Amino acid sequence: MKILIINGPNLNMLGVREPEIYGKDTLESINAYVQEKVKDAGVELAFYQSNCEGEIIDQIHAAHTAFDGIVINPGAYTHYSYAIADALSSIKTPAVEVHLSNIHKREGFRHNSVTAASCIGQVCGFGKYGYVMAIMALLEAEK
């Protein structure tokens, strides 16, 4: 199973960005952690990060034929990007939404996700392990 892991805006700043919320790991080290955790699960991972809504949408469209599943942390786009929601709904490839932090414990504007309904499910609040959980959920959904 080929899975594309998409990280949206400001997630390239992990390690520097509000470590008390997001932890001290960089995105690169999180990706390496995820890769290691699923090494025996029979998945092939590809990693993509962008700060631009249109680029994320292009990657989602391309994943339609190139990948069997998507794990996406849309960052703040989660809360207002109907365009990313529509992109996820426009393809058959199943997606799982991930958030490092528990968005429901935070500011009110983070409580709602406009993208989650275009995914098979959402994982939040488990830090980097959330990406591993999302991959496992995609593997189960495939069965």
Residue positions annotated with a catalytic role:
22, 99
The interface region with ligand DQA, picked from 26-34, 42-50, 62-70, 74-82 by CB under 6 A, is 74-82
> Is residue 31 within the footprint of ligand DQA (CB under 6 A)?
no
Q: How many CA atoms lie within 13 A of 29 on its CB side?
A: 9
* Binding string, residues 34-73; x marks residues near ligand DQA by CB under 6 A: ---------------------------------------x
Q: Which is nearer to ligand DQA, 68 or 129 (CB)?
A: 129
Q: Report if residue 29 touches ligand DQA, rule: CB under 6 A.
A: no
Chain residues 83-142 in contact with ligand DQA, contact rule CB under 6 A: 99-101, 103, 110
Surface-to-core class of residue 60, CB atoms within 10 Å of its CB (0-12 exposed, 13-18 middle, 19+ buried): buried
Residue 107 structure tokens: 């500011």
Q: How far is the CB of 63 from ligand DQA (least distance, A)?
A: 19
Rounded to a whole number of angstroms, the minimum distance from the CB of residue 109 to ligand DQA is: 8
Tell me which of 78, 93, 115, 122 binds ligand DQA, using CB under 6 A: 78
- What letter would DSSP give residue 110? G
Is residue 97 within 8 A of residue 115, CB to CB? The reply is: yes
Of 120, 48, 47, 108, residue with least CA distance to 79: 108
| Subset of 9-28 contacting ligand DQA (CB under 6 A) | 10
Asked if 38 contacts 135 with a C-beta cutoff of 8 angstroms, the reply is yes
Q: How far is CA 29 from the centre of its chain?
A: 15
